[in-house]
Amino acid sequence: MTDGRFRIERDSMGEVRVPSDAYYGAQTQRAVENFPVSNLRFPRRFIKALGQIKMAAAEVNADLGLLDPEIARAIVLAAQEVIEGKMDSQFVVDIFQTGSGTSTNMNANEVIANRAIELLGGEIGTKSPVHPNDHVNLGQSSNDVIPTAIHVSTLSAIQEDLEPALSELLAALREKSVEFMPIIKTGRTHLQDATPIRLGQEFEGYAGQVERALQRLSYAKAELSEVALGGTAVGTGINTHPEFARRVCEKLSQLNGFEIRETTNHFQAQSSLDACVLTSGVLKTIAVSLMKIANDIRWLGSGPRAGIGELELPEVQPGSSIMPGKVNPVIAESLLMVCAQVIGSDAVVATGGQWGNFELNTMMPVVAYNLLLAVEILSNGARNFAARCVRGLRATEKGPQLVEQGLAICTALAPEIGYDAAAKIAQEAHRTGRTIREVARERTQLSDEELDRILNPEVMTEPGRNIGPAGG
């Protein structure tokens, strides 16, 4: 029944007016009316994962003799359109909805069912010959579909976006490490001058952080590969075929190019989101690493005259609306904000993970949103930082010029004359404005040749020939 703009649909609670051109149905419309909270929706990758699950489920149910082959084919075709993004406008439910994500699961069921009905020549909204629950949701529950979609979509985002982005950043940092290895500069600890270090060694450290970020992602991926599908409502597997989940997981693996396997413990998989919490923690760790790298580079490029000024950052845009010629480290600052957001998203995911009440977690939508947001912006931020900042970095002469003026090179004197004597030389050099070499020439019996050997900055950047206290 329609009045032009709307059609009347019925669900278990009664009649609902649904826009006449909508592929979603009564349960989705109720959710739209119940949750007018934000403009936030599940991202494209999550909707794609939902479509994949529904398509694989239809194929498996048909293979098991549980679903009419003609209906299954129509569901598969409709689900493929969801996978391809052709139905994105029909996924209209707010993130802040029922904690199980039931509204979004039914959104998918209704869209696919109505599109399948249309493909079979029927009238959308009639639930005939394709029913959203009886056919599209056959062998499934929102309680196992939604956490499975979270895992599949996050795995996809990590493999397709984040790992390649971090690999690009790693390559850029390694290139700069090699380029900058000949450059000796002053190290810094506690924001104070320390013993010399090679600029390339600093970048070697940055590269090591990204390398370990990729290693940590592999741990997260292993956790995410195990999914809840097959547990249905509470983990017992009621109303599903014993072979259903395993076969669907095999198809999901083929579709995505990475392993998806049924959990060995459905009760933990549905009552908790521990794998999501772990993954979010890895993303937060990566964000902390990238924040350190971006902020170091930002500081090393400070100036150009009144700052550290050991690096020149690429000039990508004017830096000030009032100060002509000013150029700011905007790419680094963009990444810093990305990292701050990822750390904040982790707080949401960790909080959401705590709401595993008995047999079901009830914060799955907001966990999914924040997890996927973190992966997306980390990917984009890392790739942009590599391309528009790191690859364009140039070393200045300022770092090497300051080495001889540094006080911490007195560390190399300690094995020769003792810690206390070296400290007195450093204190006098600081008080008088002279160099360590100049004061040592006066206060020790060491020859110029010996001082040249001991105070050689290049030697100080490697495990030393002289053994003694190194400071902190």
pTM: 0.94
pLDDT, position 316: 86
Cα 209 to Cα 57: distance, rounded to the nearest angstrom: 41
Residues of the chain with pLDDT under 70: 1-3, 319-322, 324, 464-472
Cα 23 to Cα 30: distance, rounded to the nearest angstrom: 14
pLDDT, position 466: 59
Q: How many CA within 13 A on the CB side of residue 108?
A: 33
pLDDT, position 468: 53
**Both 313 and 439 in a single domain?**
no
Phi and psi at 18, nearest 5°, equal -120, 140
Q: What is the DSSP string of 239-276?
A: TS-TTHHHHHHHHHHHHHTS--EE-S-HHHHHH--HHH
pLDDT, position 58: 98
Which of residues 138, 167, 189 is at a domain's end? Answer: 138
pLDDT, position 20: 95
Whether 232 contacts 105, CB under 8 Å: no
**Both 133 and 155 in a single domain?**
no
Cα 93 to Cα 31: distance, rounded to the nearest angstrom: 6
Structure tokens at 113: 């069912």
**Both 81 and 119 in a single domain?**
yes
Is residue 250 assigned to a domain?
no
pLDDT, position 97: 98
Which of residues 138, 163, 190 is at a domain's end? Answer: 138
Residue type, position 24, single letter = Y
Whether 235 contacts 359, CB under 8 Å: yes
Is residue 471 assigned to a domain?
no
Domain that holds residue 301: 145-178+200-222+265-395
**Both 391 and 338 in a single domain?**
yes
**Both 104 and 17 in a single domain?**
yes
**Both 149 and 133 in a single domain?**
no
Is residue 256 assigned to a domain?
no
Mind listing the pLDDT tens digit for each residue in 120-175? 999 999 999 999 999 999 999 999 999 999 999 999 999 999 999 999 999 999 99
**Both 308 and 329 in a single domain?**
yes
Is residue 468 assigned to a domain?
no
Whether 231 contacts 144, CB under 8 Å: yes
Locus of tokens 């009649």: 15
pLDDT, position 54: 98
Q: What share of the chain is helix, strand, coil (3-state, %, to 5)?
A: 60, 10, 30
Is residue 340 assigned to a domain?
yes
Cα 469 to Cα 414: distance, rounded to the nearest angstrom: 7
Contacts of 367-370 with CB under 8 Å at 24 or more apart are 367/150, 367/273, 367/276, 368/42, 368/46, 368/101, 368/146, 368/149, 368/150, 368/153, 368/276, 369/40, 369/42, 369/43, 369/95, 370/280, 370/345, 370/346
**Both 434 and 369 in a single domain?**
no
Tell me, what CATH number does 46's domain have? 1.10.275.10
**Both 25 and 93 in a single domain?**
yes
Tell me, what CATH number does 168's domain have? 1.20.200.10
pLDDT, position 472: 58
Cα 352 to Cα 350: distance, rounded to the nearest angstrom: 5
- Is 320 a catalytic site residue? yes
Number of C-beta neighbours around residue 24 at 10 A: 28
**Both 127 and 159 in a single domain?**
no
Mind listing the pLDDT tens digit for each residue in 384-426? 999 999 999 999 999 999 998 989 899 999 999 999 999 999 9
Is residue 88 assigned to a domain?
yes
Which of residues 113, 138, 163 is at a domain's end? Answer: 138
Q: How far apart are the first and last CA of the chain?
A: 79
- Closest by CA to 95, choosing from 300, 365, 323, 301, is 365
Cα 135 to Cα 351: distance, rounded to the nearest angstrom: 35
**Both 174 and 299 in a single domain?**
yes
**Both 339 and 321 in a single domain?**
yes
Among the listed residues 38, 89, 128, 320, the single catalytic one is: 320
Is residue 168 assigned to a domain?
yes
Tell me, what CATH number does 411's domain have? 1.10.40.30
Please report which helix (H) or strand (E) contains residue 195, including its range: strand 192-198
Is residue 348 assigned to a domain?
yes
Cα 207 to Cα 174: distance, rounded to the nearest angstrom: 6
Q: How many domains does the chain have?
A: 3
- Is 272 a catalytic site residue? no
Give the angle subtended at the CA of 182 by the CAs of 180 and 188, to the nearest 5°. 70
